[in-house]
């Protein structure tokens, strides 16, 4: 089955700097890659997603890039703010059932 690896597990950045989280997936048939943000004790919330027919997608300070050949995708957060502190999860899906395989998560801490 699909396996998604996520790095790093923790990331500490200064406010205003950029944060990058990387995920690799094993199944070349995967075609949908969402990113979720989860604050402590709360629900995961979708922040951005990308499909395999697109190489890059941007939404204000957040961008995701996809390299299908290398089977990896990355989340980029620019001009980080304290409210960006949370756990971020990547996921991959390969079939019409919509089953998602999640990475283990990255704890991002933005220090003022």
Partner 1 sequence: DGGITQSPKYLFRKEGQNVTLSCEQNLNHDAMYWYRQDPGQGLRLIYYSQIVNDFQKGDIAEGYSVSREKKESFPLTVTSAQKNPTAFYLCASSIPGDQPQHFGDGTRLSIL
Shortest Å distance, C-beta 71 to partner 1: 17
Nearest in space to 31 (alpha carbons), one of 100, 78, 82: 100
CA distance 68 to 80: 27
Which CB atom, from 76 or from 102, has the smaller least distance to partner 1?
102
Which residues sit at the interface with partner 1, rule CB under 8 A?
Answer: 1, 4, 6, 31-32, 34, 42-46, 49, 51, 89, 93, 96-100, 102-105
Shortest Å distance, C-beta 34 to partner 1: 6
What string of DSSP letters covers 66-92?
EETTTTEEEEEE-S--GGG-EEEEEEE
Shortest Å distance, C-beta 69 to partner 1: 20
């Amino acid at each position: 089955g699909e396996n998604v690896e996520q790095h790093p597990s923790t990331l500490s950045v200064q406010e205003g700097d950029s944060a990058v989280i990387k995920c690799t997936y094993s199944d070349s048939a995967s075609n949908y890659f969402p990113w979720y943000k989860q604050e402590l004790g709360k629900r995961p919330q979708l922040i951005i997603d990308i499909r395999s027919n697109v190489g890059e997608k941007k939404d204000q300070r957040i961008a995701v890039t996809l390299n299908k050949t290398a089977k990896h995708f990355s989340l980029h957060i620019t001009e980080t703010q304290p409210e960006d502190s949370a756990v971020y999860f990547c996921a991959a899906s390969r079939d019409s059932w919509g089953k998602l395989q999640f990475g283990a998560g990255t704890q991002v801490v933005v220090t003022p």
